[in-house]
């Protein structure tokens, strides 16, 4: 089966989470079937389209590693073609000129609503003699849609959806200024681009019926539709900014990995038995429309974090260090020395195990960037150095300075021996050391920290305790 999918965002805002999932599903579906995934920017609304939004969408897609086939299409470049096809329909008597004023339309809408009908435009110019055309009024071009019968959208996710044709009015193809509408442009473009599968949000389901009518008017084959349920906020209501209706770059800034976000989004509304952590390769081989759920799902940051932490465990060390350092530099607006970078890499095992996001990782890694400042801000840590805590730290320093083989094992053996010699529980020694070394009462293993810090820095930090 030849498969061509497309993602068609309008550049009026960033690439939000729902759009990202739509793009992912299209990408996956095309990959799975060995087809092509195309990108089309729907920029026909010049007033609302911005180049910033366009850049944000492209950057978001690239960050998510959802690459599209060939160059992206710009809908605005097809305007002449869209106009021409509408004229064809007009010539063939499948469309007509309508001279209704906006006021008339508003009135019609109100009447329709009052009478409990969904049909808005009453088709008053459908069969009217063009000679009746009022002077000085620019007409719109409307499609002559079927007056009776039903239009069936055989949706791959929702199943067959039947809409009575009496519910659908004659849609506008060309505005009175001659420019094509979205409904018209989409159909022409999808046909011209050879799109075989239209996978998009559920909010377009009712559009599918209208677009089907247009495809039929042209005598074109209707693509297969698949409307995926929308993502809602944690409360089941429409996704708001507070709930995560953010651009994907915001997710990057919150410290999520693209692989993790993709995995999370994939599982939101799609499943493969009990699989939770799914690699891209597996996703490509498993993904199909029949496993897409029919009900809307809710955004769950806790689950996203959990998935993200798994990907942080799996991420390549060098890459992880790079991301961590970049984040530190961004937030501290200060460089990280090569020495500190080496320490972070050395202590990465313990750091990554405790981090759910890159941001948490960057924060935890600060113990390798800055020395603790006394008196410590952390009250619990400060308390660990009170009484004989400070003495234990200095005793440890004296002992550790004699160690030549600076390995975790040797360091641990030495510290354990010290605790034993003083008849102290191991924790009694370890906690003050932790406070002296990291300025905190919680950190990775102190032996790992000492190893990563190196002997000189370790001794220096221990001796710095007042």
Partner RNA sequence: GACCCCAUCGUCUAGUGGUUUAGGACACCGCCCUUUCAAGGCGGCAACACGGGUUCAAAUCCCGUUGGGGUCGCCA
Give whichever of 337 and 387 is closer to RNA, judged by the CB atom: 387
Residue 444 C-beta: closest distance to RNA, Å: 6
- Determine if 144 is a binding residue for RNA (CB under 7 A): no
Q: Indicate the length of the chain as a whole number.
A: 466
Candidate segments 29-37, 118-126, 340-348, 387-395, binder of RNA by CB under 7 A: 118-126
Q: Could you say whether residue 134 binds RNA (CB under 7 A)?
A: no
Pick the piece of the chain touching RNA (CB under 7 A) from 28-36, 262-270, 321-329, 394-402. 262-270
Say how many Å lie between the first and final Cα of the chain, rounded: 74
Which 360-399 residues touch RNA, going by CB under 7 A? none
Q: Which is nearer to RNA, 249 or 305 (CB)?
A: 305
Q: How many CB atoms lie within 10 A of CB 309?
A: 20
Closest approach of RNA to the CB of residue 405, in Å:
17
Distance of CA 300 to the CA centre of its chain: 13
Token look-up 């996703």 returns: 283
Query: Hey, how many other C-beta atoms are within 10 angstroms of the C-beta on 260?
Result: 25
Q: Is residue 402 a contact point for RNA (CB under 7 A)?
A: no
**Whether 155 contacts 225, CB under 8 Å:** yes
d(CA 285, CA 304): 23
Q: Whole-angstrom Cα distance, residue 105 to residue 421?
A: 92
- What is the CB-side half-sphere exposure of residue 10 using CA atoms within 13 A? 11
181 binds RNA, rule: CB under 7 A: yes
Q: Which of 47, 135, 237, 241 is the catalytic position?
A: 241
Least distance to RNA, CB of residue 100, Å: 6
Residue 455 has a CB neighbour count (10 Å cut-off) of 15
Segment 296-355, which members bind RNA (CB under 7 A)? 296-298, 300, 302-303, 305-306, 309, 353-354
CA neighbor of 269 nearest in space, from 295, 248, 304: 295
Asked if 357 touches RNA (CB under 7 A), the answer is no
Q: Which of residues 228-257 bind RNA (CB under 7 A)?
A: 229-230, 232, 234, 236-238
- 15 to 44, contacts with RNA by CB under 7 A? 42, 44
Q: Note whether 79 and 181 are within 8 A (CB).
A: no
Closest to RNA by CB, 35 vs 44, is 44
Given candidates 33, 267, 343, 461, which one binds RNA under the rule CB under 7 A? 267
Stretch that binds RNA, among 88-96, 99-107, 190-198, 244-252 (CB under 7 A): 99-107
Among 34, 77, 279, 291, binds RNA (CB under 7 A): 291
Rg for the chain (alpha carbons), in Å? 31
From residue 112, alpha-carbon distances to 22, 109, 119, 236 in Å are 34, 5, 6, 31
The answer to whether residue 149 forms part of the interface with RNA (CB under 7 A) is no
CB nearer to RNA: pick between 35 and 437: 437
Tokens 């018209």: give the residue.
184
Instruction: CB nearer to RNA: give 10 or 35.
Output: 10
Q: 241 an active-site residue?
A: yes
Q: What is the rounded distance in angstroms from the CA atom of residue 61 to the CA atom of residue 58? A: 5
Residue 219 as a binder of RNA (CB under 7 A): the answer is: no
* Among positions 111, 426, 456, 463, the unique one binding RNA when judged by CB under 7 A: 426
- Pick the binder of RNA from 39, 172, 376, 453 (CB under 7 A): 172
CB 451 to RNA: min, Å: 11
Tokens matching residue 451 = 């190893």
Phi and psi torsions of 212, nearest 5°: -60, -40
Residues tagged active-site: 241
């Amino acid at each position: 089966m030849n498969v061509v999918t497309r993602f068609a965002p309008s550049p009026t805002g960033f690439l939000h989470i729902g759009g990202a999932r739509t793009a992912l599903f299209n990408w996956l579906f095309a990959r799975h079937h060995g087809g092509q995934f195309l990108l089309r920017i729907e920029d026909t609304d010049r007033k609302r389209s911005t180049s910033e939004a366009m850049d944000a969408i492209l950057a978001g897609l690239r960050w998510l590693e959802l690459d599209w086939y060939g160059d992206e299409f710009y809908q605005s470049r097809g305007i002449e073609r869209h106009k021409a096809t509408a004229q064809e329909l007009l010539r063939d008597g499948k469309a007509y000129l309508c001279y209704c004023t906006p006021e008339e339309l508003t009135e019609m809408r109100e009447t329709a609503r009052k009478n409990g009908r969904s049909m808005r435009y009453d088709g008053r110019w459908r069969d009217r003699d063009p000679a009746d055309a009022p002077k000085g009024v620019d007409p719109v071009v409307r499609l002559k849609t079927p007056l009776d019968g039903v239009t069936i959208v055989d949706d791959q996710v929702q199943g067959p959806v039947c809409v009575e044709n009496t519910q659908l009015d004659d849609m506008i193809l060309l505005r009175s200024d001659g420019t094509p509408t979205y409904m018209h442009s989409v159909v022409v473009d999808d046909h011209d681009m050879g799109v075989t599968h239209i996978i998009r949000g559920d909010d377009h389901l009712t559009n599918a019926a209208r677009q089907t009518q247009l495809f039929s008017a042209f005598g074109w084959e209707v693509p297969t539709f698949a409307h995926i349920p929308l993502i809602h906020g944690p409360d089941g209501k429409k996704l708001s900014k507070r709930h995560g209706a953010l651009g994907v770059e915001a997710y990057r800034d919150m410290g999520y990995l693209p692989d993790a976000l993709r995995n999370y989004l994939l599982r939101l509304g799609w499943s493969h038995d009990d699989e939770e952590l799914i690699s891209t390769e597996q996703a490509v081989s498993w993904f199909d429309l029949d496993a897409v759920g029919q009900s809307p799902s809710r955004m769950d940051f806790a689950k996203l974090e959990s998935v993200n932490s798994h990907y942080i465990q799996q991420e390549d060390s060098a890459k992880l260090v790079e991301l961590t350092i970049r984040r530190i530099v961004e937030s501290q607006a200060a460089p990280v020395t090569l020495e500190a970078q080496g320490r972070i890499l050395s202590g990465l095992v313990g750091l990554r195990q405790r981090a759910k996001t890159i941001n948490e990782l960057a924060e935890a890694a600060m113990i390798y960037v800055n020395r603790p400042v006394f008196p410590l801000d952390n009250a619990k840590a400060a308390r660990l150095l009170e009484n004989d805590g400070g003495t234990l730290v200095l005793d440890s320093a004296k002992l550790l300075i004699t160690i030549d083989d600076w390995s975790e094992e040797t360091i641990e053996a030495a510290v354990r021996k010290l605790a034993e010699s003083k008849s102290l529980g191991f924790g009694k020694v370890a906690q003050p050391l932790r406070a002296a070394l990291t300025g905190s009462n919680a950190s990775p293993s102190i032996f790992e920290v000492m190893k990563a810090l190196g002997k000189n820095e370790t001794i220096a930090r221990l001796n710095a305790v007042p």
